[in-house]
Amino acid sequence: MSPPSTIQVPEDPLGAGAGLAPYAASDRESRGRRHPEPPPTYRSEFQRDRDRIIHCAAFRRLEYKTQVFVNHEGDLFRTRLTHSLEVAQIARSIARVMGLNEDLTEAIALAHDLGHTPFGYAGQDALNRCMAPYGGFEHNLQSLRVVDVLERKYAEFPGLNLTFETREGILKHCSRRDARELGELGERFLGRTQPGLEAQLTDVADEIAYNNHDVDDGLRAEMISIDQLREIQLFNLQYEEVLSRYPGLDQRRVIHEVVRRMINRLVVDLIDSSRARIAAAAPRNIADVRGASTRLMGFSDELREQNRALKGFLRETLYRHYRVRRMSSKAARVVTELFEAFMGDPSLLPTEYRDETRSHRGSSGDRARARIVADYIAGMTDRYAIREYDRLFDPQCVG
Per-residue pLDDT of 235-284, as tens digits, reads: 999 999 999 999 999 999 999 999 999 999 999 999 999 999 999 999 99
Whether pLDDT at 67 is above 80: no
Task: Give the pLDDT score at 399.
Answer: 65
* DSSP states along 77-131: S-BHHHHHHHHHHHHHHHHHHHT--HHHHHHHHHHTTTTPPTTHHHHHHHHHHHT
Return the domain boundaries, the chain: 27-125+137-197, 224-323, 329-393
Per-residue pLDDT of 29-63, as tens digits, reads: 999 999 999 999 999 999 999 999 999 999 999 99
Task: Give the pLDDT score at 285.
Answer: 96
The pLDDT mean for the chain works out to 90
Given a contact cutoff of 8 angstroms between Cβ atoms, the answer to whether 108 and 169 are in contact is yes
Range name among 3-7, 204-208, 298-302 with the lowest pLDDT average: 3-7
**Residues 380-398, mean pLDDT to the nearest whole number:** 90
**If we measure between CA atoms, which residue out of 254, 218, 217, 219 comes closest to residue 77?**
217
Q: What's the count of helices (H) and strands (E) in the chain, helices before strands? A: 19, 0
Whether pLDDT at 74 is above 50: no
Full-prediction pTM beyond 0.85?
A: yes
pLDDT over 90 percentage in the chain: 76
- The pLDDT-based confidence of 14 (bands split at 50, 70, 90) is very low
* Distance (Å, whole) CA 399 – CA 394: 10
Q: Please give the CATH topology (third level) of the domain spanning 27-125+137-197.
A: Hypothetical protein af1432 (1.10.3210)
Task: Give the pLDDT score at 315.
Answer: 92
* Distance (Å, whole) CA 280 – CA 208: 25
